[in-house]
Amino acid sequence: MSRWGRERLQSEIHEQLSEILQFEARDPRLERVTIFTVKLSKDMRHAWIAVGVLGDSHQEETESLAALQDHRGFLRSALAKRLHIRHTPELHFELDETERRAHGVEELLKEIKREKEVSR
């Protein structure tokens, strides 16, 4: 499959998994999950899915990630029914750290600004 095909499949997996989580998943821990990105391996046998979890606590993130791991089989099966491709990729979930990193950078910039104001 061409590069265009992989990008299209990544987009379709993102869309379909979002719908499955919203309308078919029964576990309340999955209600807080948002899918940010989907990256497929070159052979398209593995999909790495970066997710975010609504809520502030680390415990909520851990619980939701554990629920995703517990329901990987169901999610892959539901995805296979929707995609109609020969091999549905193995799903690997990970927390998206982008927001946390951005907040850390923002805090560092504020600290630098405060130090400059104090040194004047």
Ordered structural domains, the chain, with CATH: 3-119 (3.30.300.20)
The share of the chain scoring above pLDDT 70, in percent, equals 96
Residue-wise pLDDT for 11-29, tens only, equals 999 999 999 999 999 999 9
Mean pLDDT of the chain: 89
Residue-wise pLDDT for 37-57, tens only, equals 999 999 999 999 999 998 778
**CB-based contacts of 95, cutoff 8 Å, min separation 6:** 50, 51, 52, 53, 61, 65
- 87 vs 100, which has greater pLDDT? 87
Residue 79 has pLDDT above 70, yes or no: yes
